[in-house]
Amino acid sequence: MTKKYALVTGSAKRLGKDLALKLTDQGYTVLFHYFSSQKEIDELKDFFKTINKPFFAFKADVKDKNQIKNMANWVENNFGSLDLLVNNVGNYQLANISNFTVEDWDDIIQSNLNGAYYCIHYLLELIKKSQGNIINMGYASADAVQANVNATAYSISKTGLLILTK
């Protein structure tokens, strides 16, 4: 049986963790990605010891294309292929757009849209090599363009991600 590898961004907690654990149950060797969730990654590492399964994790800021390039190199050098990329990272900040800072705007666009693009860009050849798949996590009704004064940056980033996906 050929090993199947899946990389899930933001997989240390919440939805990303649930997706990664489900993929593990389905036979994938999951490559966990995290940035600021060291405690949660350490807990997952301990959990994988108890179930006697290999655990792999890489720390990278999805907003930094060089760190994502390094992660892609790590995947290629250690695993040789990638069957599934799940772009799960999503920064969700609610605030009225008139009170939003430029830094908050940049952070959301970088995390939710550019970060997913960087992962796709640097991992695409490995995914093609295994005839794998990419899943980009959006939100319900992302294709129904609607203004939301309290979630403008988030909506724009996820609508852009939908366009990138299509």
Contact residues for 28 (Cβ-Cβ < 8 A; gap 6+): 4, 5, 6, 83, 84
The tokens for 96 are: 């009225």
pLDDT in tens, the chain (166 residues): 568 999 999 999 999 999 999 999 999 999 999 999 999 999 999 999 999 999 999 999 999 999 999 999 999 999 999 999 999 988 878 888 888 899 999 999 999 999 999 999 999 999 999 999 999 987 656 566 677 787 788 888 888 888 888 8
69 φ, ψ to 5°?
Answer: -60, -40
Q: What is the pLDDT of residue 153?
A: 86
Pairing outcome for strands 56-59 and 84-87: unpaired
Alpha carbon separation from 34 to 9, 87, 149 (Å, rounded) = 7, 12, 30
Torsion region of 10: left, alpha or beta (phi above 0 gives left; psi -120 to 50 gives alpha): left
- Give, to the nearest 10 degrees, the angle between helix 115-129 and helix 152-165: 20
Q: What is the pLDDT of residue 90?
A: 83
Pairing outcome for strands 84-87 and 28-34: unpaired
The tokens for 42 are: 């350490």
Q: What is the pLDDT of residue 158?
A: 86
The H or E element spanning position 20 is helix 14-25
